[in-house]
Structure 1
Amino acid sequence: MTSGTAEIFYVDDSPDDLFLANYQMREGGFSFALKTFSTGIAAIMDMERRAARGEALPLMLVADYYMPITDGPELFRLIRANRQLASVLLASCSGGDDPHDRKAAEEAGADFILGKPLDLALCQQLISRREIA
């Protein structure tokens, strides 16, 4: 990835949600690249590898709240514990609206709480604010 291309990572264990995000990406004409993962561990390994090589990190990582093995909040804690990954915006994505889940995601380090299905146009707006700042 060139350093001038914004990138978003999307982590979700649902093949349907990943398919929909990739479909939106193909049809939407967004100014960022999207990389999808079915596990949080795969996403964090990719980011750690990039950090070790001095490569660009994604501007944002969006993770499903409810996933087996490593759920969204746990993934956020792992990312926030690594100072090399501190610049990455984190967003929790869920189809539910439980206030306890929202609070848990925020306490784990989420910068944003998003609904499902993932809205890539909203993600574009969020990273555009970051690029301007």
Structure 2
Amino acid sequence: MLLVEDDPNDVLMASLAFEVTGFDSEVAIVNNGRDALDFLHRSGRHAHWPEGVPQLILTDLNMPQMDGLELLKTIKEDDRLAEIPVVVLTTSTAERDREACALLGANDYLVKPHNFEDFVLLIDTLTTRWLQTDSLAM
């Protein structure tokens, strides 16, 4: 799984939620869309990662250098990456953001919960819905 998130508190909350839910597969974490593309193409500081693509990408919308919308657009236009499910996990409740993500091919759009217990439930639901735990790639 690839988590694209620039807020250190949200990264920590997600990491703890993965731990609490028993999700034990590898999660790569990057802090903006440009770094995510480097990871997906195994370039720059991510050249050492084994080949392959994650089974799921969780991305925030509002990030520096390259935001989630531009990342989503780039992924869905790339034949090699287009089939990877991309779930937007954001604080934005704006309908225009939800619609833009849908138009660009997001597989789901979820608003980040404010408390940890709800965040754990959300992560558990995401991993159950989008990942096949017996055959994870990465």
| TM band (smaller chain) | 0.7 to 0.9
Amino acid in structure 2 at the alignment position of 1:19: L
Higher relative contact order (CA 8 A, sep 6+): 2
Identify which of 8, 29, 42 aligns with 2:35. Answer: 42
Paired position in structure 1 for 2:116: none
Q: For 1:71-82, what aligned pairs fall within 5 Å after superposition?
A: 71-82=67-78
Measure the CA separation in 2 of the matches of 1:81 and 1:46: 17
Q: Which runs of 5+ in 2 are unaligned?
A: 114-118
- Whether the aligned pair in 1 keeps the contact of 2:18 and 2:24 (CA below 8 Å) is no
Cα offsets for 1:9-51 (capped at 9, x unmatched): 111110100011111122321253322111111111111128x
Amino acid at match of 1:86: A
Gaps of 5+ in 1: 1-7
SS in 1 for 2:83: coil
State the partner residue of 1:124: 127
Question: Contact 1:32–1:124 at 8 Å: present in 2 too?
Answer: no
Other structure's SS at 2:52 match: coil
Instruction: Provide the identity percentage.
Output: 25
Counterpart among 83, 88, 93 of residue 84 in structure 2 = 88
TM-score normalised by the chain length of structure 2? 0.77
Confirm or deny: 8 A CA contact 1:74 1:108 kept in the other structure.
no
Distance in 1, Cα, partners of 2:36 & 2:97: 21
CA displacement 1:55-89 (0-9 Å, x = unmatched): 22101111111112211110011111211112210
Q: How far apart in 2 are the matches of 1:32 and 1:120?
A: 13
SS of the residue 1:113 aligns to:
strand
What is the identity, as a one-letter code, of the residue corresponding to 2:2?
Answer: F
Partner of 1:113: 109
Normalized against structure 1, the TM-score is what?
0.80
Q: Which amino acid in 2 is paired with 1:123? A: L
- Give the number of aligned pairs: 124
Aligned partner of 2:99 in structure 1 is: 103
Give the Cα–Cα distance (whole angstroms) in 2 for the partners of residues 26 and 54 of structure 1.
23
Query: Which segments of structure 1 move beyond 4 Å, counting only runs of 4 or more?
Result: none
Q: How many angstroms does 1:122 deviate by?
A: 1.9
